[in-house]
């Protein structure tokens, strides 16, 4: 089968990319291993810009978030309530959300091929001209002028692309998350973060009865801790705080998963006939672990870059480098590099600097707002942010 573009992976990055290209009238194959797979994720979407990319979300009955609670490992607490608007942060069930945005791509004209596992490239004259997939009926081949790799950090195509190496345990986060249903004492309009010396935990209510709960380790701590044990401890701790009931919960979904944690590698984004987007390219915030927003932006820009290449008939690395040179992509790269430095700083000495940060939050409303903007909304803090924390007692 011959297409203008083959997109491997129908999550936020792949679906947005396929939608953009299909809307421009080009033939797009959207490859997915299983549309019933729920991507391991907290499901938090903190930025209002998600509604610009998907105005369809405004018609759905998501609980708008207007309350944040964050706790340091030594007991300091940040609480903040803000005005509720039509574009407040939301928490989504990834199975429902991914199906919605995939259908937007299909409505635009993309062709979906479910139950296809991408595992290798097709080459002609040493150039990548398509991909091979495994299906229940055997191997299938999809030919295209451009291949967009959007099938996550465990992508076989990304590993075989020559653009980057496999993720090291010291460059990722390892999390466990569950969606539970039952009686609780959570504010359904809230999000809860619990920072630890190994990483952090979260509780994100989806509605009055359902919530996403998880915990994650980073870097060296991946080798020091068992995330399954940490999750059970965190679950009990949340019950001890009287946030959750002692009654048994119905487990809707459960997963242990890896997550990119070092940001985007600029040199690993594109080559002749290929672009990497979403988790496969590291578009996950080093502080918050939030990747939906970066995935959608990277997919959108990859779609626009592909359209330009198709118009010009040039699919070389020189043509596709417009993706990584795009101002929005460059801004994400800069922001993630900056955030990675902060992550290293926060977790020094078993999280001592995190504890200092939250102590300062209790003492200053101005500093509190800066921390909310940095931790939740991914904004760049003032230049003296670290020096103030270092100088605190």
pLDDT on residue 83: 83
Residue 212 banded pLDDT, cuts 50, 70, 90:
very high
Average pLDDT of span 236-258: 95
The per-residue pLDDT for range 356-366, each reduced to its tens digit, is 898 998 888 89
Res 184 pLDDT > 70: yes
The residue ranges of every structural domain in the chain are 2-42+93-167+264-339
Please determine, for residue 181, whether its predicted confidence score (pLDDT) is greater than 70.
yes
Give ∠ CA 57-43-372 in degrees, rounded to 5: 95
pLDDT in tens, 126-151: 999 999 999 999 999 999 999 999 99
Q: For residue 245, what are its two tokens?
A: 């009931």
Cα distance between residue 44 and residue 289, in whole Å: 10
Mean pLDDT of the chain: 92
Distance separating alpha carbons of residues 320 and 231, to the nearest angstrom: 42
Q: What is the mean pLDDT of residues 328-355?
A: 85
Span 81-102, mean pLDDT? 88
Confidence at residue 47, expressed as pLDDT on a 0 to 100 scale: 67
In the predicted model, is pLDDT for residue 179 greater than 70? yes
Q: Does domain 2-42+93-167+264-339 have CATH number 3.30.460.80?
A: no
Q: Is 312 exposed, middle or buried (0-12, 13-18, 19+ CB in 10 A)?
A: exposed
Question: What is the token pair recorded at 132?
Answer: 């091979």
> Can you tell me the mean pLDDT for 248-271?
92
The two structure tokens encoding residue 23: 């809307």
Residue with tokens 């200053």: 364
**pLDDT band of 100, cuts 50, 70, 90:** very high
Output the pLDDT for position 155. 95
pLDDT tens string 280-323: 999 998 878 889 999 999 999 999 999 999 999 999 999 999 99
pLDDT at 207 over 80: yes
- What percentage of the chain reaches a pLDDT higher than 70? 99
- Full-model pTM: 0.93
| pLDDT score of 355 more than 90 | no
> Would the pLDDT of 97 be above 70?
yes
374 against 35, higher pLDDT = 35
The answer to whether 289 touches 218, Cβ cutoff 8 Å, is no
* pLDDT given for residue 51 in this prediction: 85
Write out pLDDT tens, residues 157-175: 999 999 988 888 888 999 9
- Alpha-carbon distance of 270 to 324, in angstroms, equals 8
Q: pLDDT category, 339, cuts 50, 70, 90?
A: confident
Three-state SS string across the chain, please? CEEEEEEECCCHHHHHHHHHHHHCCCCEEEECCCCCCCCCCCCEECCCCHHHHCHHHHHCCCCCCCEEEEECCCCCEEEEECCCCCCCCEECCHHHHHHHHHHHHHHHCCEEECCCEEEEEEEECCEEEEEEEEECCEEEEEEEEEEEECCCCCCHHHHHCCCCCCCCHHHEEEEEEEEEECCECCCCCEEEEEECCCEEEEEEECCCCEEEEEEEEECCHHHHCCHHHHHHHHHHHHHHCCCECCCCCEEEEEEEEEEECCCCCHHHCEECCEEECHHHHCCCCCCCCCCHHHHHHHHHHHHHHHHHHHHHCCCCHHHHCHHHHCHHHHHHHHHHHHHHHHHHHHCCCCCHHHHHHHHHHCCCHHHHHHHHHHHCCCCCCCCCHHHHHHCCC
The per-residue pLDDT for 48 is 67
Residue 84 has pLDDT above 90, yes or no: no
């Amino acid at each position: 089968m011959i297409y203008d573009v083959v997109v491997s992976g129908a999550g936020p990055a792949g679906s947005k990319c396929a939608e953009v290209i299909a809307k421009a009238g080009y033939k797009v194959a959207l490859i997915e291993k299983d549309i019933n797979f729920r991507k391991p994720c907290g499901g938090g979407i903190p930025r209002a810009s998600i509604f610009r990319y998907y105005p369809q979300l405004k018609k759905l009955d998501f609980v708008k978030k207007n309350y944040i609670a964050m706790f340091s490992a030594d007991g300091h607490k940040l609480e903040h309530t803000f005005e509720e608007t039509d574009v407040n942060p939301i928490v989504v069930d990834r199975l429902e959300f991914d199906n919605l945005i995939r259908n937007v791509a299909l409505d635009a004209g993309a062709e979906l091929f479910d139950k296809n596992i991408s595992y290798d490239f097709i080459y002609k004259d040493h150039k990548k001209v398509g991909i091979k997939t495994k299906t229940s009926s055997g191997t299938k081949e999809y030919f295209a002028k451009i291949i967009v790799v959007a099938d996550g950090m465990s992508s076989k195509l990304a590993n075989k692309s020559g653009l980057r190496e496999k993720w090291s345990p010291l460059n990722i986060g390892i999390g466990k998350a569950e969606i539970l249903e039952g009686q609780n004492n959570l504010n359904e309009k809230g999000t809860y973060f619990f920072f630890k010396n190994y990483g952090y935990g979260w509780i994100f209510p989806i509605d009055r009865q359902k919530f996403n709960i998880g915990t994650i380790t980073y870097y060296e701590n991946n080798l020091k801790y068992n995330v399954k044990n940490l999750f059970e401890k965190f679950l009990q701790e949340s019950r001890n705080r009287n946030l959750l009931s002692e009654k048994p919960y119905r487990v809707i979904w459960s997963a242990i998963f890896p997550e990119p944690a070092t940001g985007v590698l600029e040199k690993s984004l594109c080559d002749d006939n290929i672009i990497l987007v979403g988790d496969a390219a590291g578009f996950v915030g080093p502080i918050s672990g939030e990747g939906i927003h970066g995935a959608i932006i990277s997919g959108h820009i990859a779609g626009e870059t592909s359209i330009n290449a198709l118009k010009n008939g040039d699919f070389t690395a020189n043509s596709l480098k417009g993706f990584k040179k795009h101002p929005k992509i460059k801004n994400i790269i800069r922001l993630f590099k900056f955030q990675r430095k902060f992550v290293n700083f926060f977790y020094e000495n078993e999280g001592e600097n995190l504890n200092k940060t939250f102590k300062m939050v209790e003492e200053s409303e101005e500093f509190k707002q800066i921390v909310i903007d940095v931790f939740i909304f991914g904004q760049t803090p003032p230049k003296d942010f670290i020096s103030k924390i270092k100088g605190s007692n």
